[in-house]
Amino acid sequence: MDRKIRVLVAKPGLDGHDRGAKVVARAMRDAGMEVIYTGLRQTPEQIVQAAVQEDVDVLAMSILSGAHNHLFPRVMELLADKGASDVLVVGGGVIPEDDIPFLESKGIAAVFGPGTPTSATIEFIKANVKRR
């Protein structure tokens, strides 16, 4: 069986800074993953619907607007509603360290701050993705 890691790269919130998300998406592709890129201004509802329909192993969200404490937990809630809590969820962008424990308590597996090499994100995913 030919199992590929499928990742949804999403930008919740209103900020339009997608350089990081796009660089990470390319790096994931070059690491052999299948990346579904959904672009800017995704609502938590849209993100979760896409994660379910695309049956992804990983949901990677990037946000630079500061709305992470509002939007990330909402995504986690909706994933749980859909019985999709087994999706590995990671976050990135400009997220102050002080907020990370809170986000982790909501089920975000890891938060990658500015300057994280893409290889670190990819290794984390490969090590932590839940094989089904």
Partner 1 sequence: MGDTDKLRASVEAWRAGVDKSLAKHPERKASFETGSDAPVERLYTPLDLEGEGYAEAIGLPGEFPYTRGVQATMYRGRLWTMRQYAGFGTAEESNERYKYLLAQGQTGLSIAFDLPTQIGYDSDHPLSAGEVGKVGVAVDSLVDMEVLFAGIPLDKVSTSMTINAPAAVLLAMYVAVAEKQGVSPSALEGTIQNDILKEYIARGTYIFPPAPSMRLITDVFAYCARSVPNWNTISISGYHIREAGSTASQEVAFTLADGIAYVDAAVKAGLDVDDFAPRLSFFFNAHNDLFEEAAKFRAARRMWAHIMRERFGAVNPKSWMLRFHTQTAGSTLTAQQPDNNVVRVTLQALAAALGGTQSLHTNSRDEALALPTEASVRIALRTQQIIAYESGVAETPDPLAGSYYVESLTDRVEKEALAYLARIDELGGAVRAIEEGYVQREIQDAAYAYQKKIESGERVVVGLNKFQVPEGRPTGLLKVDPSVGERQAAALRALRLRRDGARVAAALRGVDAAARGDANMMPPILEAVRAYATLGEICDAMRAVFGEYRPGSTF
Partner 2 sequence: MPAKALPSALEAAASILRGDERALARLITGLEDGDPAAAGTLRALRGGSAAVGQLTAQVVGVTGPPGSGKSTLVDKLISAYRAKGLRVGVLAVDPSSPFSGGAILGDRIRMQRAEAGPGGGLDPGVFIRSLASRGRLGGLSRATAQSARALEAAGYGVVIVETVGIGQSEIDIARLADTVVLVSMPGSGDDIQVIKAGVMEIGDVFVVNKADREGSDRVVREIRAMLETGATLRQDLALRQGGAAELQPVLKTVAETGEGLPELVLALDARWAKLNASGELASRRARGAAAEARSLLAERALAELALLEPGLEEGLAMEIVRGEREVAEAAEILFSAIRK
Interface residues toward partner 1, by CB under 8 A = 13-19, 22-23, 25-27, 37, 39-41, 43, 65-67, 69-71, 94, 96-98, 113-115, 117-119
The interface partner of residue 67, options being partner 2, partner 1, none and the CB cut-off 5 to 8 Å by kind, is partner 1
Least separation in angstroms between CB 129 and partner 2:
13
Among 14, 16, 23, 53, binds partner 2 (CB under 8 A): 53
State the Cα–Cα distance between residues 98 and 34, nearest whole angstrom.
Answer: 32
Least separation in angstroms between CB 86 and partner 1:
26
Footprint (CB under 8 A) of partner 2, residues 64-83: 82-83
Give start and end residues of each alpha helix (H) in the chain. 19-30, 44-53, 68-81, 100-105, 118-128
**Could you tell me which residues are beta bridge partners of residue 112?**
92
Residue 95 is given by DSSP the state -
Computed on alpha carbons and rounded to an integer, the radius of gyration of the chain in Å comes to 13
State the Cα–Cα distance between residues 6 and 95, nearest whole angstrom.
Answer: 25
The interface partner of residue 124, options being partner 2, partner 1, none and the CB cut-off 5 to 8 Å by kind, is none
